Each structure stands twice: as C-alpha cells, then as structure tokens.
Amino acid sequence: MNRKHYLLLTPGPLTTTQSVKEVMLQDWCTWDDEYNSLVQKIRERLISLAVQPEKREWYTSVLMQGSGTFTVESVIGSVIPNDGKLLVCINGAYGERIAQMANILGIQVVVNKTDEREPIHINEIEEALKEHQDITHVAIVHCETTTGILNPVQEVCELAKAYNKVTIVDAMSSFGGIEIDMEAWNIDFLISSANKCIQGIPGFGFVIARRNELEKCQRRARSLSLDLYDQWETMENQNGKWRFTSPTHVVRAFYQALLELEEEGGVQARQRRYTNNQRTLVKRMSELGFYPLLQDKYQSPIITSFCYPDESFEFAAFYQMLKKQGFVIYPGKISQVDTFRIGTIGDVYEEDMKQLLNAIQEGKAENVM
C-alpha cells in the first residue's frame, strides 16, 4: 500500500482526507469573529443535512466539546425534566450506555431490550408506552455499532409521537452517511459526532434539535459543562461563541469535511459509496468463509460483524496480520457469538476493500490467523 499509516476500518475515528488534515496546520482564536462565523456556517450546514428547506426554521443546532458520548449525556441530562421518565430502546452497548447515563443522573428509566442480532421490536415499544403512561421521552440508537444493525428509527419515533412523547435519536454512526429527514421521521433531538460519517476528526459532537423543544430546556441541566441549553443560547446570542475553550482545529477540519461531503454529492452519494464498500466486503468475505452475523435486511453500510470461521481462529493474530498490511479493524462486542467487525466508512473506497480482502486471502492461505 502507498500509505504511511494504516487505514482505519472502524466506525469512527476513521480515515480522513489529506485536505482535512492539512487545514489543522493553522491556529485559530476562539474569540475571533472569523472563527465564530465558521461555527455559525457549520451549524447552518448541519441543519441543511437533516431537514428539508421549507422546515429548517423550525430547527436549530448546537456543538458540544468532547466525544460523542459527552454529547449524548448533554442531551439526556439537559432535555429530560426532574419529573420526566425516559424509555430507552436497547439492542446493543450504546443503548445500554444511554440507560446507564440516565440512571447515574437520577432520571427515571424504563428499558426495552431486544436481542442484539435483531432490530428494536415496535410492538414491544408500544406495550411499554401503554404500560408506563408517565413516560415523557423515548431514546433509540439508529445504527447500533455493537453489531452494525440499523434500527427502525422512523417507525419508533412515529409511534412515540402518537403517544405524545419527545424523541431522542443517537445517530452517532449514521448521520452524514445515511439519509435522515428529521421532520418526516418525527425526531426532536438528533445526536452525532464530528469523527463519523461527515469524516472529520474527534473533538466535539453536535445536536440538531426542534427549536421549540430545546427552548423548554432552560435550567433543566444536571451539569454545568454539559448544559445543552446554555451552550445553545450562547452560540445563538454571541455569533457562534462557545462557553468554554472550543477544539478550534477540529472545528476547522470539520468545516472542510462538510465542504468535501457537498463536493462528493451530499449524503445520498456518500451512502452509495459506503453501501458499495460494505457489499464488496461481504461478498468476498463470504467466499473466504467469513459470514456476517446479521441478516442482510438488518445490516447497515457502516460496520459489519463477522462470525469466527471456526474454533481455531485467533483474532489477535488476524488483527496483527492485517495491521502489518496497513489495515486496522475492530474486535467483536457481543457475548453470545465470537465476532470481529470491519467498518466501511471514512475516506475508503472499493479499491481499499479489495486490497483488504486480498490481504485476508493471503493470510488465510498462509494460515496466519
């Protein structure tokens, strides 16, 4: 391979373009109007990716320092009132994490658990809503990267709205790589991160919110630094200013990544590329004896879980063999079945998939796994 470093085949952080990396070579002042105007442009572009033009005035966006988990916690801790109750739809580690956050924050929680290999069951969510009529908010993960499964977010949020609930969607690993229409899907709060499908680098997350719902959140926050409303109000009233020191280089890189998303043809074009990557991967992997964990109808184009081919398979040796060839993959994350995971997002193309698959074929022939 012609790379000086390995290719990240993970669900984020992921491999970024050279041009995204290069814009970080300049320093920025957090108080400068030019920088804060950049933040405002990012906020506007995020809304345009999530909402049709005629509905955009109903929505707003806010950036939050830290990892994607920090941003999820800012929503859970700032949006749900003291007398609120959260229903969490769980079929993987990231749904579990939302429930854990709520428990630590002292929020009443109802959990609905589905097998990790299956999408969230709509009928079970309705049963929970009927049984616990004091539920105020419903949270669901769109792409649960524990396995790579896509959950029926649109159907769950439509159901939640029929019961007059506020909807929270963790779209951490899907936003920017899978088309989402917040208004059509009945999403009130959508959460994602800079270092996922928009192909920026780690350092902040963001929330796109229905404006009238976010306006209700003043003085609800259970944390100073993770006060989503206060962060939003500051950005609204002070031309994109962050309350505390912002990750300036990451912000500039993210703006460049947004421009490159537009140049590629937008979310639809990026989804096509990711889908092609994933299908190329699965087809050849199956031929090599590595079968996907999930049924194809449940599979996202973001990351794919593969079952171990046999009892003699050693993931550590497999991982090191691929890393030497310039590829880094993910271990498995579920307990019922031995798996490993390969991501197909980032600055990654069909030719990269083919090179990976050639390396796997050679490793198998040499019995290095």
Q: What is the DSSP letter of 247?
A: -
* Residue-level pLDDT at 2: 47
* Residue-level pLDDT at 192: 98
Domain containing residue 275: 7-13+265-365
How distant, in Å, are the alpha carbons of 6, 94, 125, 279, 361 from that of 285? Answer: 20, 27, 35, 10, 9
Pairing of the two strands 327-328 and 330-331: unpaired
Position 20 in a domain: no
Query: Domain holding 313: CATH number?
Result: 3.90.1150.10
pLDDT bin (cut points 50, 70, 90) of residue 334 is confident
* Residue-level pLDDT at 3: 53
Residue 1 pLDDT greater than 50, yes or no: no
Residue 240 pLDDT greater than 70, yes or no: yes
* Residue-level pLDDT at 87: 98
Residues 50 and 171 in one domain: yes
Element (H, E) at 47: helix 33-50
The pTM for the full model equals 0.96
Residues 42 and 137 in one domain: yes
Residue 274 pLDDT greater than 90, yes or no: yes
* Residue-level pLDDT at 4: 60
* Residue-level pLDDT at 177: 98
Query: Domain holding 153: CATH number?
Result: 3.40.640.10
Residues 182 and 324 in one domain: no
Q: Round to whole Å and give the CA distance between 164 and 103.
A: 23
Q: pLDDT tens, 200-211?
A: 999 999 999 999
Residues 202 and 287 in one domain: no
Q: Round to whole Å and give the CA distance between 257 and 66.
A: 18
Q: pLDDT tens, 168-225?
A: 999 999 999 999 999 999 999 999 999 999 999 999 999 999 999 999 999 999 999 9
* Residue-level pLDDT at 72: 98
